[in-house]
Amino acid sequence: MADTLAPHLPVAHPTVAGRRHRLRWSQVALYVALTLIALAMLTPLYWALLSAVRPQEVVFQHVRPVSWRTFVPQELTLQYFGEVLTRTRFPRALANSLFISLTTVVAGLVVNSLAGFGFAKFAFRGKGLLFVVVLLTFMMPFEAIVIPLYMLIRQLGWVDSYLALIVPAIPHGLSIFLFRQFFAEFPNDLLDAARIDGASWWRIYWRIVAPLSTPAFISAALMLFIMQWDAFFWPLVAANSAAHTVVQVEISRFVMQESTSWGRLFAATAMAIGVPMTLFFGLQRYYVQGMTATGLRA
């Protein structure tokens, strides 16, 4: 399992030195290929982020035909970040998204880790069937039940509320699965010893198991946060009044309004990209661990 995307240090292997001159040309070809693909993948992202900090008059000026001026700014400005944070409804959307994402993370960590512990360490009737429910819910992408879920939210009277955006996202199959896999490795001897000392299961969970399981909590927190930060389809239909608009929906409105300035659009976009990307760079290992949590092996 690739537990990290981080660089693998070159191994000082005796045969490497001997083969080096023979491999040189294939090495050069490899790096040329790697670099060309990297440029293709990163150019759209670089161009979008660069467009947030250059005067909007020039964003499309040097595009056709493409030249070095397309990618090298002659002048930089932070003006649009100021504008978008003071003259638009974007700050409200930022606050909404932060509030919704963080609430989901806190509640989701508690609820899903408890369930993961239950599945990992207890035997009970109906366990197999209930675990299949957990598996099916995370394998089925959320989009599949947007229309049915909307009917439930309407019945509950939650349309256009924070409840609609937060509560359905808290129980999370993949997080339960991730916690279960992590807790299953926890030595039973330690739990038994604590039981003999008279500790309750709750106490064992909060005082022994949870503090020793930080990596699983970080991975699950990342998954829940990014799921909510990136959410679009559900907020679009469930709560799209100005009071409850989230970042992704607000940016899509920028695009649909003819009068939007390019600078403001790109600045808002850069902020929306920046949050998950910062989390990714800071916590790369946990990010990939959560992603490949299904533990599927070759």
Partner 1 sequence: MSLRRREALLPYLFIGPAVGGLLVFRVYPIVLALWQSLHTQTLDGLQRFAGPANYLAIVSDPQVWNAVRVTAVFNLIINPLQIALALGLALLVNRRVPAIGVFRTAYFLPMTVSLTITAIIWNLILNPQLGLANGVLVRLGLPPQPFLISERQALASIMALATWKGVGYWMVFLLAGLQQIPAAVFEAASLDGATPWRRFRDITLPLLRRVLAFVLVADLAINILMFVPVYLLTGGGPHGSTELLMFHAYRLAFVFLDWGRATALAVLIVAVLLMLTGVQLRLLRAEFEY
Site for partner 1 in 58-97 (CB under 8 A): 60, 63-67, 70
Give dist(CA 139, CA 146) in Å, integer.
15
For residues 177 and 135, the answer to whether their CB atoms sit within 8 Å is yes
Of the candidate spans 72-80, 106-114, 188-196, 206-214, the one that interacts with partner 1 by CB under 8 A turns out to be: 106-114
Of the candidate spans 44-52, 76-84, 186-194, 206-214, the one that interacts with partner 1 by CB under 8 A turns out to be: 44-52
Of the candidate spans 83-91, 190-198, 212-220, 272-280, the one that interacts with partner 1 by CB under 8 A turns out to be: 272-280
Q: Which of 88, 112, 213, 245 binds partner 1 (CB under 8 A)?
A: 112
Helix (H, G, I), strand (E, B) or coil at 89: coil
For residues 263 and 56, the answer to whether their CB atoms sit within 8 Å is yes
Enumerate residues 180-219 that contact partner 1 by CB under 8 A: 181, 201, 205
Per the structure block, which two tokens stand in for 290? Answer: 């959560």
Tell the smallest beta-carbon distance from residue 204 to partner 1 (Å): 11
Q: Which of 216, 220, 239, 272 binds partner 1 (CB under 8 A)?
A: 272
Tell the smallest beta-carbon distance from residue 235 to partner 1 (Å): 10
The sign of the CA dihedral 95, 98, 101, 103 is: negative
Enumerate residues 240-259 that contact partner 1 by CB under 8 A: 248, 251-252, 255
Q: Which is closer to partner 1, CB of 114 or CB of 194?
A: 114
Which CA distances in Å does 56 have to 12, 62, 74, 75, 266?
Answer: 50, 12, 12, 11, 9
Contacts of 50 (CB under 8 A, 6+ apart): 71, 73
Q: Which of 99, 150, 162, 186 binds partner 1 (CB under 8 A)?
A: 150
